[in-house]
Structure formats: C-alpha cells, structure tokens
C-alpha cells in the first residue's frame, strides 16, 4: 500500500508496520527456567527442587537471584507470580491477583 502511494509521487508516514522477521522479541522466565539456566552445584541439587516437574520452593529460588521483598513486588491485592518477561534490556514483573493464585487461567 505504501509503495503504491509513493509511486504516485506523494509521501506519507508509515501506515503499516514493517515487520521484517517473526522472531519473538520477549521471553518469559519462570522458576523452572531459573533452576535450569542459573542454578549451580554450589547452590544445591536441582533434583531436590524439581519433584515431578513441579517446583517445591519457588520463593527460595527467586530469593537466590533477585531481591523479592521489595515494595515493587507487593501491590495491593496482587502477588508476585514467580515470572518475569524480558527482552534482554527491559524487564516486566508479572503479578497475579490474590484470589487467582493457584488457579488455572
């Protein structure tokens, strides 16, 4: 569409987004990702934390790598969902409503 309009000699601002690739720019890191990527032998054994692919001590694992007792992670009626979304530069903290904790979405 932009090429057609520019072909007539007129100039416009970008009407359509020009996406050149389909690679996602953000990744979600959860507790399992932290254990598999960042956990070292000095910190403990991975198999103790992963029982039937379910994590037993999420708060302790996140506490090893991040300061999770800050006010940023404690919003009114929301709690930290043990997940972050990042593009390598910025980081989004994922919170969940207290009444939705433990429920499937």
Alpha helices by DSSP H, listed for 1-105, are: 2-7, 31-38, 46-49, 58-65
User: DSSP letter at 45?
Assistant: -
pTM over 0.85: no
Report pLDDT for 12.
64
Each residue's pLDDT tens digit in the chain (105 positions)?
567 767 787 766 655 556 677 776 788 888 888 877 777 766 666 666 666 555 667 888 888 888 877 777 777 888 888 889 988 788 888 888 888 877 776
């Amino acid at each position: 569409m932009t090429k057609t309009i520019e072909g007539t000699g007129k100039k416009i601002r970008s009407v359509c987004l020009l996406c050149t690739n389909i690679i996602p720019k953000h990744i979600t890191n959860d507790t399992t990702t932290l254990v598999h990527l960042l956990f070292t032998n000095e910190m403990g054994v991975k198999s103790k934390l992963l029982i039937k692919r379910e994590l037993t001590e999420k708060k302790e694992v996140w506490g090893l790598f991040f300061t999770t007792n800050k006010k940023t992670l404690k919003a009114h009626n929301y709690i930290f969902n043990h997940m972050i979304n990042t593009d390598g530069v910025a980081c989004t903290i994922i919170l969940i409503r207290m009444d939705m904790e433990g429920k499937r979405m």
